Every structure is written in structure tokens, then in C-alpha cells.
Structure 1
Amino acid sequence: MITATDLELRAGSRILLSGADLRVQPGDRIGLVGRNGAGKTTSMRVLAGESEPYGGKVGANSPVGYLPQDPREGDLRVTAKDRVLSAKGLDDLLRRMEKAQTAMAELVDADNDKAVREYGRIEERFAALGGYAAESEAARICNHLGLPDRVLTQQIATLSGGQRRRVELARILFAASDGGAQSNTTLLLDEPTNHLDADSITWLRSFLSSHEGGLVVISHDTELLAAVVNKVWFLDATRGEVDVYNMDWKRYLDARATDEKRRRRERANAEKKASALHTQALKMGAKATKAVAAKNMARRADELLAGLEPEQKHDRVAKIRFPDPAPCGRTPITAEGLSKAFGSLEVFTGVDLAVDRGAKVVVLGLNGAGKTTLLRLLAGTEEPDAGKVLPGHGLRTGYFAQEHDTLDMSASVWENIRHASPDTPEQQLRTVLGTFMFSGEQLQQPAGTLSGGERTRLALAGLVSSSANVLLLDEPTNNLDPASREQVLDALRRFTGAVILVTHDPGAVEALDPDKVIVLPDGTEDLWSADYLELVQLA
């Protein structure tokens, strides 16, 4: 269970939340919602103990599993399997068992007897923690999340950002699972469906629906919220408060709409009454005999207005528009014989491509087929083992990394946009940031303190300011609220430059209206047809 008392959260001098008392108990499956910038991710970090609140106290008396929007670094040398098993300390025991097995095979006589006893002692401990059954359970969870055995044997360093995040999700769910039963772990999940295919999302809904510990989830997947949550916390950024609804998602939507109508009606009635009192006070104030009564009426009107809640602000939406691309040649980017491997793992080999001016290309392939790696090679942030990328006349690339690798998390919003476009006039950059909902003190906020959606908007702002003629987009709609997602898709529809897109979002592909598709790891190039659309979510 997690308890927060008199909680106060701030972003700079802006108060996100004040005086909130929150509790997550076993069986609570809570959807944490609110408009852009309301502080959902900040609240989740504080509940997880990852950061300190500005005021108040947070405590937990049960295990907590926290999935942030961006994967943690950790030890990149361990295998994906060991990372998942480390949730229960099984990874170290397995390594020690393997070491003892090797010793038993190599040693003789007394030394061998010692190795046998050591192996028996470790295996006994392994069995006490669930042992081979737990290892099988971890493999089952990983398989449901699109992490097959070949991925589990790889080091974390060789995995794509999406694969790393699925490994972290698998680790957290494994810690919360005890065979067929569920533990009392409280799960704090920030956009858990990112990078998951349709089958994995369906399985995750089922897992979370049956979870007996506590759960707080931030998600733009309304189908997940509808299937899972039995409570909703609405973080009201206007009032700096949390409204708690002890009901499921569908009933919450109805209740929320009713509450907002009531507040608007109460505000209108109070304003009407205050206006009438002010008018009457003015009339009576002209007469000395009624001056006291006039002052009382004016005071009463002011009290009515002072007691009103702040007027609810509607969600702001980024007004995204990619500018006309810089002039370029007929074929701005070409690649010949691209090959890439991580250690003994060959990702792809001999990939050729040529992207013409204004062409729209979708890259498909199963998870781990090298889609993100291909974009990184084209962007020049990684070198191929063989082959080369050939820039055409006037090439200017704009790269959107799915894990926001292009952002400097220690630098401010303003420093990031200035770095992305050093030659653009300051006022023009401020205008761009304003359309992406960054202004005032937030320009000095470190990028590392932004939510996933805010980081996505900042990275897109950098693209907009660059006048790129080839956009390399890796999951650009992740972490975006529905309204901002539609703005991004509309910008893609209108963009006249070339686009190479990696996504699990069929809506993004339909918006792009691609000319051709590249299927990895073979590098097969084909004209786009609707038959490929069903592969997008499976990729």
C-alpha cells in the first residue's frame, strides 16, 4: 500500500498539486488522468519514491514496481533474461549454479566434493525462491510481451529502446507474479502499452485486471483504462487538486461530464448574482442613508466571486506544422549494402535503399529486426559494420528518436531547441516553442524533468525548426495525448518532404499514405499496399 499525505508538487514555481491525500490499497486499479502538463508523470515519480515532493509525505509498506516512460540505464552488459530474473534475485543464483556445475566437471576428489556441496546449497536456495517454476513463469511473461528466447539471450546494450522497455515491464510483472497467484506488489505504470503489439496489449489488460495488489496507471489507451481500472484520479491542473472517483472508466466519464456541467452552472449563477448585487450597490451607494447597505451588498458580491473555483482550462493542443523542406536533389538519401551486428548477433545485412525527394516510406519488421538501428544509421548517430549511407545534394535530415536520444536531459527546454537549430533567430524559436505549448518559466526547465509527452513535443519542435527535407521518425506518436497525436498525424499528411517512418501505430501509417515499404531484416523493398497495414501492429 502507498499513502501520500498533504502532498504538494511543483514544476518550478508552478504548483501542480497542493494538500492532496492519496492512498493506493490492494485491489485498487487506478487510472491517473489529467490534461497536458497537469503533473501525472511527476506524481507517479513521487509515489514511486524516485523523486521528493515539494511538501507532504509519501510512504509504502509493500513492494513497488515502477515503469517510467523511458527505460532505465542500469547494467547494459547483462542479458535480458538475467535482467528479468533479477526481480527475484534468481539471476545471481543461476550464474552461481552454472559456475558450480563447471567446477564439478573440472575438479576431482575432495575439490569435486566441495563443488558438489556448493552446488547443492545454491540449488536449494534456488528451489526455495520458486526455482525452475519461477524461471518458466518469467519466460511465459516475456513471450506474451514479445520477447522470444533469442532476445532474452542478448545483452541489454544490443536491444532497441522498445525492447529494453518491454524487458523492464516483464521484470516488474514477474516480480508481481507468483506462479498463478498474484502478489501484493503495487504497480505504478506510466504508458505501459508503448512498443507493445496488439496481442501483447490484450494479454496485459488481462494480467492487470486480475492483479490483486495495487495499481496506478497512466495511459492514453482508453481501451486499457476501460478494461482495467476500478478507480480514477483526475489531476485538475486548474485547481491543483485531485478528484477521486471510486468507479470504473465508463461511469467516471459520465460523472466527470456531470461535475463539469455543475461547476459551470454554479459559476454562472454566482456571477449573475454577484453582478446583480454590484448593480444594486451602485444604485444605493448614491444615497447617504443606504451607504452601509450598499457596502454590505458589494462585499457579499466580492465574497461570491472569491469563493468560485478557477475557471476550468481546456486542454491545450500543440499546433504542429512541419515547414516547407529545404531544397534538395532528386534522391536526397541513398544507402548501399548496410550491415549491422551487435557482437555475434547479426541484425541485418546487405540492405539497400534509395529515397526520392518527397517520398514516404514505412519500415516494417518484427521487434528486434533492426528498424530503429536502420534509422540511426541513416541519421548518422551510429556507424554500419559494412556498407555506407550516401547523402544526396542538399540533404538535411531530421531525426526523431523513440527514446528521445536527441535531447540533452540535463539541458533546459530552451538550450535543447537552440542546439537543434543554432542559426534560427531567437524570436522564431520562441514562436515554435509556443506552438508546442512551451513558454515562460518552462523554457528554463531541464528536459529530464519533462513528462514523456512533453519530451515528444520538444523533440518535434526541434524537427520543425530545422527545415529538414528527410524526416526519420521512430514511433513519433508514443506518449502523446489523443489531441496532440492527431496534430502530429495531420502534420505528416501535409509535409511535402521525404519521410522514413517506424511505428506500431496504424493511424500514423494511414496518415503518411506511404509510397513504399522496406521489410527488415531482409531489406526487401516493395510498393505499399493496404495488405501491409495489418502487419504494422504485429511488427
Structure 2
Amino acid sequence: MLVARDVEVRAGARLLLEHASFQVAAGDKIGLVGRNGAGKTTLTKILSGEGQPAAGLVTRSGEVGYLPQDPRTGDLDVLAKDRILSARGLDAVVARLRRAELAMGDADESVRDEAMAAYGRAEAQLAAAGGYAAEAEAARIASNLGLADRILHQQLRTLSGGQRRRVELARILFSGADTLLLDEPTNHLDADSIVWLRSFLQGYPGGLMLISHDTGLLQSTVNKVFHLDANRSELDIYAMDWKRYLQQRETDEKRRRRERQNAERKADQLMTQADRMRAKATKATAAQNMAKRAERLLAGLEAERAHDRVAKIRFPDPAPCGKTPLTAADLSKSYGSLEVFTGVDLAIDRGSQVVILGLNGAGKTTLLRILAGVEPSDTGDVTAGHGLRLGYYAQEHETLDVTRSVLENMKTAAPALNETEVRKVLGSFLFSGDEVDKPARVLSGGEKTRLALAKLVVSSANVLLLDEPTNNLDPASRAEVLEAIRTYAGAVVLVTHDEGAVDALDPDRVLLLPDGVEDLWNPEYADLISLA
């Protein structure tokens, strides 16, 4: 169980939440919602113990399993299977079993005897922790999240970012923690895995707090909704399911607007009367008291909820370039003995739209990184054509320097702009005042997305490489990104699970990985998007 008492959350000097008290008990399935940047990710970090509140107290009883938006997988040399088993400490036990098995084949009898004893001790520990059934459970969870057995026997460093995130999700679900805190758990999951995750969370006996822009997941899972209102810095608690929450939230907003209007009308009447009375010296004190009543009336009411601001996203007018600004020939990539793809050829013509499709782990992100010059290929070449200006959006925000501030990141991306011009662009992406001085490492997933997109806007790129550009965005911000894709005049190479993003792009070609087959786009390929 988690209990928060009078918690205050801040991002630098900005107040995100104050005087919040609540609990997450067994059987609670809570959807934590609010606009991007409202503080949802910051709050879950505090609840998990990875951050501290500015004021108040969080107490935890039992184990807490926390999936952040940008999971840290630790040692990249470990096998994916062992990373999942580590949630219950089974990785070390299994490793001792493996060492003992090898030693039992030693020619020295004393070594064999010691190995057999060590094997027995390790096997007893394994049995105490659930035995081989626990290993089977871990494998079953991994399989349902789209992690094939061959992936489980690979080192984490050989996996794509999406695969590593699914390993972390499998690890958290396998942990059996008393409370789960999941920040955007459906990122990088295909449609079948999302259906399975919904069922798993429905039957989960512990406490759950969930941040997600997947309304289907929220609707099928949560029995409470916590709305973090960024304008009022308050947490509104609704002990009801998602559908009833939407109805009640709208009713509450109408009530607040009505109360505000009535209060303003009454305050105007009081101020008008006070102004009239001030003209008479004998009524000056009464007039002053009346004015104070009007001020208290307004101050005592909840402020009318301002319309959530949305970043105004428009990709740049592309710089002039030749007919084919980017080409790739005979690209291949392997990690150790694992061949990701081979013999990939691609020519990006001026203004062309290409979508890359393939199952998770087929190498989509890796191919974009190679095209962007971030990662080398094993064979083949990437050639820049006349006038190429490349803009790369990385799904894990590797293009951001997390040691630098928001403002410094933008200055690096747009050296020709002065600070006033840079601040103006950042303002259109909802970074203003002291927010531009925050280091990028403390930004939420949605804020990192906005900053990465802002860097693209000032790039004058004529070829955009976009890797899951709608992840971590609320519906309004996602709509802005889709419109930016729809209206961009340059060339786009897109990797996405979002069918709306493909519709916005209206691709003329599709590249299928890992085979590298290129074809003209037709609607039949749409069925592959959610599987990608």
C-alpha cells in the first residue's frame, strides 16, 4: 500500500500539486490523468521512492514495482531472461545452477562433489522462490508481451529500445509487487499484447496506478481516476470507472464555470455599489468593506479552469535540395550472431513519404539510426544528396542533451537564432519563463517529446526521420503532430504503431523489414501498422 499525506510536488519553482492526500490500496486500479507537463510522471517517481516531495510524506508498505517512461535496464550485458528473473532474485539462483552444472562435469572428483552440493543448495533456493514454475511464468509473461524465446536468450544491448522496454514491463509484471506504478505501459506493444495487458491488469490483486493515453486501457481497467489539474495544482479524486469519470468531470467543469460567473457578477455589483458610496465621506468605510467582500468572494472560489494550452507544432519549410537527397544501398546490421536485417536499399526523393513496417525487433529503429548517422551499418553506405538537411526524431529522445537546459538544447539546434527568437519558439511549445532553464533530464516524456519536436521545427530539414513521434502525447498534442505531418512539404521516413500517423502521412511507399522489400503503399498494408 502507498499512502500520501499532504504531498506537494514542484518542478523547480513551479508548483504542480499541493495538499494532496490519498492512498493506493490492494484492489485499487487508479488512472492518473492530466495534460502533458501537469506532473503525473513526477508524482509517480515520488510515490516509487525515486524522488522526494517538496512537502508532505509518502509511506510504503510492501514492494512497489515501478515502470518509468524511460526505463533504466542497468547492465546491458545480461540476458533478457535474467533481467526479468531478477525481479524475484531468481537470476542469481539460476546463474549458480548453471555454474554448478558445468562444474559437475569436471575431472576432479572433489570439484564434482562440491558442485553437486552447490547445485542442491541452489535448487532448494529456486524451489523456495517458486521453482521452475516461476521461470515458466516469466517466459509466459514475456511471450504475451511479444518477446520470443530467442530474444530472451540475447543480451540487452542487442535489443531495440522497444524490446528493452518490454523486457522491463515483463520484469515489473513478474515481480508480484504489492503495488504497481506504470507510466505509459502500452508504448511499443502491438495490438495483441495490449489486449493481454488489459486482461492481466484487470485480474491483478494488488494496487495499481496507471498513466496512459490509451483510453481503451483506462476504460477496461481502472476503478478510480485521479485528475491532476495543472491550472489549480490540485488532485481531483473520482471513485468511479472511466466512463462515469468523463461524465462527472464535464459536470464539475460546468459547475465551476457557473459558480465563477455568478461570483464575478455579484462581485461586479458590490464593486459598483462601493464606487458610488466612496463619493460620500460618511460612507467611505462602508465602501471599503464592500470592496473587500467582493475580493474575498472571488478569492474564495475555485478559479475557472483555463483551456489547456496545446503546443503549436508546424514542421519547417524544407530547405532546397536535389531530386534525391538521401540514398542507402545494401545496408545490413547484426548484433553478434543475431542478424537484424540485410541487403536494404532505399532512395528518398524530394517530398516523398515512406513508412517502415515490420514486427517488433525487425530493425525499424536501427535503420533510422543508421540513416541519421547515429549508428554505423555493418555493410553498405548511406549517401547524402545535394542540399540534404536531415531532421531526426528519436523515440527515446537520444537527440536531447540531458545535461543541458531546455534553452541550451534549442540554441544548439538553431545557432542562427538569437535568444529572443529561440524563446519565442519554445513558448509556442509551452516552455516559458523559468521552464526554459530546467535540465532536459527532469522533463516528463511528453515534455521531452515537445522539446525534440521544437528542435525539428527550427532545423529547416528537408528530410525528416520520425521514430514514434506521437508516443507520450495527450490527444490534443497528438492532433497537432498529426497535422504537422499532414502539412509538411519535405520528405518523411516514418516508423510508428499509430494508424493515425500513417493516415496523416498518406505514404506513397512502404519498406518492409527485416526483408527490405519496398512496395507502393496500398490500404492492405494498414493491417500491419498495429502489429509493427
TM-score by length of 2: 0.98
1:252-278 CA deviation, whole Å, 9 max, x = no partner? 111111111111111111111111112
Aligned to 1:396: 389
Aligned to 2:400: 407
Aligned to 1:152: 152
8 Å contact from structure 2 (residues 48, 181) kept in 1? yes
Aligned to 1:386: 379
Quote the offset at 1:121 in angstroms: 1.3
Aligned to 1:101: 101
Aligned to 1:140: 140
Quote the offset at 1:71 in angstroms: 2.0
Using the alignment, how far apart are the partners of 2:509 and 2:228 within structure 1?
A: 43
Using the alignment, how far apart are the partners of 1:291 and 1:417 within structure 2?
A: 55
**1:161 is matched by which residue type in structure 2?**
G
**2:120 is matched by which residue type in structure 1?**
G
Using the alignment, how far apart are the partners of 2:491 and 2:214 within structure 1?
A: 29
Specify which of 247, 250, 254 is matched with residue 254 of structure 1.
247
Using the alignment, how far apart are the partners of 2:150 and 2:412 within structure 1?
A: 39
8 Å contact from structure 1 (residues 456, 479) kept in 2? yes
- Structure 1 portions without partners, runs of 5+: 177-183
Report matched runs for 1:102-251 at 5 Å. 102-176=102-176, 185-251=178-244
Aligned to 2:431: 438
Structure 1 490/224 Cα, relative in aligned 2: closer, same or farther at 3 Å?
same
Quote the offset at 1:305 in angstroms: 1.7
Using the alignment, how far apart are the partners of 2:289 and 2:399 within structure 1?
A: 61
Quote the offset at 1:311 in angstroms: 2.6
Aligned to 1:368: 361
Using the alignment, how far apart are the partners of 2:100 and 2:131 within structure 1?
A: 16
Alignment of 1:508 with 2:508, yes or no, is no
Aligned to 2:416: 423
8 Å contact from structure 1 (residues 30, 230) kept in 2? yes
Quote the offset at 1:108 in angstroms: 4.2
8 Å contact from structure 2 (residues 316, 456) kept in 1? no
Using the alignment, how far apart are the partners of 2:329 and 2:286 within structure 1?
A: 88
Quote the offset at 1:285 in angstroms: 3.1
Alignment of 1:534 with 2:513, yes or no, is no
1:406-455 CA deviation, whole Å, 9 max, x = no partner? 01112100111111222333333222211111111110001111110110
Aligned to 2:79: 79
> How many equivalent pairs are there?
532
Quote the offset at 1:289 in angstroms: 4.2
Which deviates the most, 387-396 or 298-307?
298-307
Using the alignment, how far apart are the partners of 1:107 and 1:477 within structure 2?
A: 59
Aligned to 1:31: 31
Quote the offset at 1:216 in angstroms: 0.6
Using the alignment, how far apart are the partners of 2:405 and 2:26 within structure 1?
A: 39
Using the alignment, how far apart are the partners of 2:476 and 2:368 within structure 1?
A: 27
Using the alignment, how far apart are the partners of 2:297 and 2:196 within structure 1?
A: 52
The alignment partner of 1:106 has SS state of: coil
Using the alignment, how far apart are the partners of 1:193 and 1:300 within structure 2?
A: 51
The alignment partner of 2:104 has SS state of: helix
Aligned to 1:181: none
Using the alignment, how far apart are the partners of 1:187 and 1:281 within structure 2?
A: 56
Structure 1 128/107 Cα, relative in aligned 2: closer, same or farther at 3 Å?
farther
Using the alignment, how far apart are the partners of 1:289 and 1:90 within structure 2?
A: 84
The alignment partner of 1:97 has SS state of: helix
**1:34 is matched by which residue type in structure 2?**
G
Aligned to 1:49: 49
8 Å contact from structure 2 (residues 508, 521) kept in 1? yes
**1:307 is matched by which residue type in structure 2?**
G
Aligned to 1:493: 486
Aligned to 2:64: 64
**1:352 is matched by which residue type in structure 2?**
D
Which deviates the most, 2-11 or 423-432?
423-432
8 Å contact from structure 1 (residues 36, 315) kept in 2? no
Quote the offset at 1:350 in angstroms: 1.3
Aligned to 1:17: 17
Specify which of 295, 307, 316 is matched with residue 302 of structure 1.
295
Using the alignment, how far apart are the partners of 1:100 and 1:428 within structure 2?
A: 65
The alignment partner of 1:105 has SS state of: coil
Aligned to 1:271: 264
- Structure 2 portions without partners, runs of 5+: none
The alignment partner of 2:105 has SS state of: helix
Alignment of 1:338 with 2:325, yes or no, is no
Using the alignment, how far apart are the partners of 1:423 and 1:282 within structure 2?
A: 54
Using the alignment, how far apart are the partners of 1:289 and 1:224 within structure 2?
A: 66
1:86-139 CA deviation, whole Å, 9 max, x = no partner? 101111111111111111112343332222121111111111111210111011
Structure 1 332/115 Cα, relative in aligned 2: closer, same or farther at 3 Å?
same
Specify which of 325, 346, 354 is matched with residue 318 of structure 2.
325
User: Alignment RMSD, CA only?
Assistant: 1.2
TM-score by length of 1: 0.97
The alignment partner of 2:290 has SS state of: helix
Structure 1 142/504 Cα, relative in aligned 2: closer, same or farther at 3 Å?
same
8 Å contact from structure 1 (residues 36, 316) kept in 2? no
8 Å contact from structure 1 (residues 90, 131) kept in 2? no
8 Å contact from structure 2 (residues 36, 473) kept in 1? no
Aligned to 1:285: 278
Aligned to 1:316: 309
Quote the offset at 1:293 in angstroms: 3.2
Quote the offset at 1:73 in angstroms: 4.0
Using the alignment, how far apart are the partners of 2:448 and 2:114 within structure 1?
A: 55
